[in-house]
Amino acid sequence: MDKVQRQYEDYPYPDRDPAEETRRLIVGSPSFPVELDHHLFGGKRDWAAGTSILVAGGGTGDGLVQLAQILTRAGVPHEITYLDLSAKAREVAEARVAARGLKGIRFHTDSLLNANHHGTFDYIDCCGVLHHLPDPQAGFDALAASLAPGGGIGLMVYAPHGRAGVYPLQDALNAVTDGLSPKDAIAAARQILERVPDGHPFKRNPHLVDHMASDAGFLDLLLHGRDRPYTVTELHAALDRAGLACVAMVPPAQYDPSPYLPDGLAPDLGPVATMQLAENLRGTIKVHIAYATWPDRAGEANARPRDLSIVPHLKGVAGPALAKAIAAKGQVRVTLASEAVRMQIPKKAAPLVATVDGRTPLSAIAARARLDPVGFGALWSEVDRALSGWGILHYSRLPV
Ligand SMILES: C[S@@+](CC[C@H](N)C(=O)[O-])C[C@H]1O[C@@H](n2cnc3c(N)ncnc32)[C@H](O)[C@@H]1O
C-alpha cells in the first residue's frame, strides 16, 4: 500500500470522536452552504430543486457532516456521494453521520481520480486532499470531469508562507524515521522536535498548531509522505489547466494587498499577481480556500447586492449584536486569519444590520428602514464591502 494511503488507514484525519456529534457541529470553509451559494451561484441557488454533491477525499467527515446537517436542517433535497481511499476514515465518517441520523449519503472507498464513475455533481467539496496526490493535476482534472455544467467546486490546498518551517522539518523527520511504524516514527519525531533549536522557522511560526492537537495531526503536519503547497498563482494555473475558473479566494479581503501599500502606490499587476502580492506581503496564509466553476459561469458566480431579492446572512455573529457595535463606534473589530481587522461601517447602517436574520431579503430590509432603492443601495454597499470581504456576510436563499 502507498505510504500516504497507509498513513490515513493508521491515523484517519482529522481525529474525530463520533460521540461528540451530539454536542457540536464543526463548520468551516469551504462548503459552508450559504458561503458556497454566495461564491458559486450568485446567492440565488434554487435549493428546492435539489443538489447533487460530491465530497472528494472526505476523510473523517467534517465537510460531509457540515453539508448534510445544514441542508437537512433547512429541509432541502440533496444527495451526497462520499469518496475516500481510507476505509478507516470512512468508518468514522459513517459513525458521525449515523449519530446524527443523516440520510441520503452514499459512501465509497475509492479514489477521487475515479470521481466521474460516480456521476456528475452540482457541487464538489475537496478539502485538504489535492496537495497529497502523486500527480495533483490529475486530481484537479478528475474533479472537473465530474462537475455538472451548472456546478461549482470548493477546495482547500496548503499554501507555502504560513507553513514556514514545515518542509525542511518534514524532510528531516521523514529521512530519520524511514522504516519505523507510524507510532514509533511519531515518538521519535516528537523527541527530535524538542531538541530542534528555538530559532528554527517552524518553532518561530505561531500559526502552526495541528501537531499539538493529536497524533493524527502531528503525522499530517510533520511526517507526511507527500505534501506540496500552492501559491495563489500556482493554484490559479492548476485550475486553469483543468479548464476551470477560480471565482473567489476566501476570505476575499485576505488577497487584497492595499492595506500594506503606501498611499498613492497601486501597481497595476492584474488580478492574480495582485493576489500574489498580498500573499507575499501577508506571509501568514497557511491554506488557500477557493471556489471555482466553468469559465462561462464565472460572471454570474459571486453574489452582488444590486439584486434586492437576495437574502443576507451573517456568519458567527447575530444581527442585533453587530448592529450595536456599529451604532456605538461606526467600526467593527475582529480577529480573522490571525490578524486584527478593523472595518469602518457608517453608524446609520446599524438599523439595517440589526434586521439581518438569514430569512429577510434586502428589499424587505430597505422597506423596513423606509429607504428608497438608491439610498438603501448606497448605504448597504458600505456594509457589504466591509463584511463580505472578510466572510462575515453572505447571500443565499437557503432557509436556515
Ligand atoms: C488531510 S485529509 C482531509 C480530510 C477531509 N477532507 C477534511 O478536510 O477534513 C486527506 C484525505 O484524503 C484522502 N485521500 C488521499 N488521496 C486520495 C485519493 N486519491 N482519493 C480519495 N481520497 C484520497 C485521505 O485518505 C484522507 O482521508
Question: What pLDDT shows up at residue 144?
Answer: 98
Ligand 1 touching residue 85 (CB < 6 A)? yes
Cα 120 to middle of ligand 1, angstroms: 19
CB 112 within 8 A of CB 146: no
pTM of the model: 0.95
String of DSSP letters for 293-341: E-GGGHHHHS--TTSTTS-EEESSS-HHHHHHHHHHHSEEEEEETTEEE
Ligand 1 touching residue 143 (CB < 6 A)? no
Q: Where are the domains of the chain?
A: 3-158+230-301, 162-222, 312-395
Whether residue 159 has pLDDT greater than 70:
yes
Give the C-alpha separation, 163 to 327, whole Å.
39
Share above pLDDT 70 across residues of the chain, in percent, rounded to a whole number: 100
Cis peptide before 14 (omega within 30 of 0): yes
- Secondary structure class of 396 (helix, strand, coil): coil
Give the C-alpha separation, 210 to 250, whole Å.
21
Count CA atoms closer than 13 A to 365's CA, side-chain side. 29
Q: Whose CA is nearest to atom 14 of ligand 1?
A: 57
Interval 268-305: pLDDT, tens: 899 999 999 999 999 999 999 999 999 999 999 988 88
Ligand 1 touching residue 102 (CB < 6 A)? no
Cα 129 to middle of ligand 1, angstroms: 5
Ligand 1 touching residue 133 (CB < 6 A)? yes
CATH of 3-158+230-301, one of 3.40.50.150, 3.60.110.10, 3.10.450.630, 1.10.510.10: 3.40.50.150
- Secondary structure class of 177 (helix, strand, coil): helix
CB 217 within 8 A of CB 223: no
Tell which atom from ligand 1 comes closest to the C-alpha of 113.
Answer: 19
Q: What is the mean pLDDT of the chain?
A: 94
CB 306 within 8 A of CB 377: yes
Ligand 1 touching residue 29 (CB < 6 A)? no
CB 83 within 8 A of CB 125: no
Give the C-alpha separation, 8 to 133, whole Å.
13
Ligand 1 touching residue 154 (CB < 6 A)? no
Cα 248 to middle of ligand 1, angstroms: 23
**Pocket perturbation via mutation, ligand 1, pick of 2, 7, 8, 157 by most ligand atoms within 8 A of CB:** 8
